[in-house]
Structure 1
């Protein structure tokens, strides 16, 4: 089974389980996530690989991290994630990418990300639920962080935090690659 097939199967199994644990009908989850009922059915039957945006909306609606939605492992109080198990969520032909390094659901979700944006590339994010916070640290290049339409320059060595329920995007307007480590915190579903 390919890595993509394993990811599709994990997503299908976990989405159905988490929806059931929360007592959400297909219609209720569709309404909470802003994702069609038909798409949720296809995902739960492992017949499709949804976009990153759809996966994020479903995770947010369920109050879990993307890592939990894609591969829910429990057991030891320590969870080690080798580089080979990190999940590449998106990439471009020019070499930009975002990799979910690790996530947890303890007291709300918390995710750790590694992003690489090549010159001229950018990525918009749907707003997260109220109370969500993102922290980021630029290790290489200069990131243009756009929150609620306003751009903020974050140079290498600089950090930023923002309320992630606002529309936001990440851009590389410079000539060099940008590398960012980001943490996303979303409060538990009430």
Structure 2
């Protein structure tokens, strides 16, 4: 069964799709670090009420909120959704790959795999239907994204720079600044993305 952590990420989320892995992980890691909800709220810049709802499994956090919580805990998002590991080799079965964003027309962002935080690398698979877009407020400094378009055309915006990335092409972006991905074309967009976040 897929762990659909986030449907309609920013608004209109369906809490039936909240992954139990997220609520369990956030609470476990917070307690292991002996952090109160108030302290985690302060460090992450996420309201205490939202954290309470996440730990209860009754909220549907956006990718941006998951990123903030992970950074505050010194983790990766992959740690929180249980697709990270530290052995020489680790299999993430197809059924265990979570959907962390679902667009209004059915597009998805799936976190395929990732390393443990705080320095981390994540591998994502995105599908966006015409008219869909995703916006991020920006990640910590020294965050880089490598993108490769497999179908359609990606409109990538980083701060005020807009880049059209056609099928078969790749792009590199420093994503500490606000950024977005959009499908402004007439056909579905599919792209693979690697995210590297370096703290040391």
Query: TM-score, normalised to structure 2's length?
Result: 0.83
SS in structure 2 at match of 1:95: coil
Q: Per-residue displacement from partner, 1:96-117 (whole Å, max 9, x unpaired)?
A: 1111101111661111000011
Q: In the superposition, relative to structure 1, how do residues 54 and 127 fare at CA in structure 2: closer, same or farther (>3 Å)?
A: same
Q: Greater shift after overlay, 51-60 or 80-89?
A: 51-60
Is 2:156 aligned against 1:156? Answer: no
User: What's 2:63 paired with?
Assistant: 52
Q: Partners in 1 of 2:87 and 2:33 — Cα distance?
A: 24
Q: Greater shift after overlay, 165-174 or 24-33?
A: 24-33
Q: In the superposition, relative to structure 1, how do residues 131 and 54 fare at CA in structure 2: closer, same or farther (>3 Å)?
A: same
Q: Partners in 2 of 1:2 and 1:153 — Cα distance?
A: 32
CA RMSD, 1 decimal? 2.4
> Which of the numbers 169, 184, 187 marks the counterpart of 1:176?
187
Q: In the superposition, relative to structure 1, how do residues 145 and 72 fare at CA in structure 2: closer, same or farther (>3 Å)?
A: closer
> Which of the numbers 128, 152, 156 marks the counterpart of 2:139?
128
- How many correspondences in the alignment? 189
Listed as ranges, the gaps of 5+ residues in structure 2 are 5-15
User: What's 1:139 paired with?
Assistant: 150
Query: TM-score, normalised to structure 1's length?
Result: 0.87
Shift of 1:62: 2.0
Shift of 1:81: 1.2
| 1:16-35 mapped onto 2 (5 Å cutoff) | 16-35=27-46
Q: Partners in 2 of 1:61 and 1:73 — Cα distance?
A: 17
Q: In the superposition, relative to structure 1, how do residues 107 and 90 fare at CA in structure 2: closer, same or farther (>3 Å)?
A: closer
SS in structure 1 at match of 2:19: helix
User: What's 1:166 paired with?
Assistant: 177
> Which of the numbers 18, 41, 49 marks the counterpart of 1:38?
49
Q: Partners in 2 of 1:54 and 1:124 — Cα distance?
A: 12
Q: Partners in 2 of 1:132 and 1:72 — Cα distance?
A: 20
Q: Partners in 1 of 2:184 and 2:123 — Cα distance?
A: 24
SS in structure 2 at match of 1:32: helix
- Check whether the contact 1:134–1:185 (CA below 8 A) recurs between aligned residues: yes
Q: Per-residue displacement from partner, 1:32-69 (whole Å, max 9, x unpaired)?
A: 21111121122223333323332222122223221210
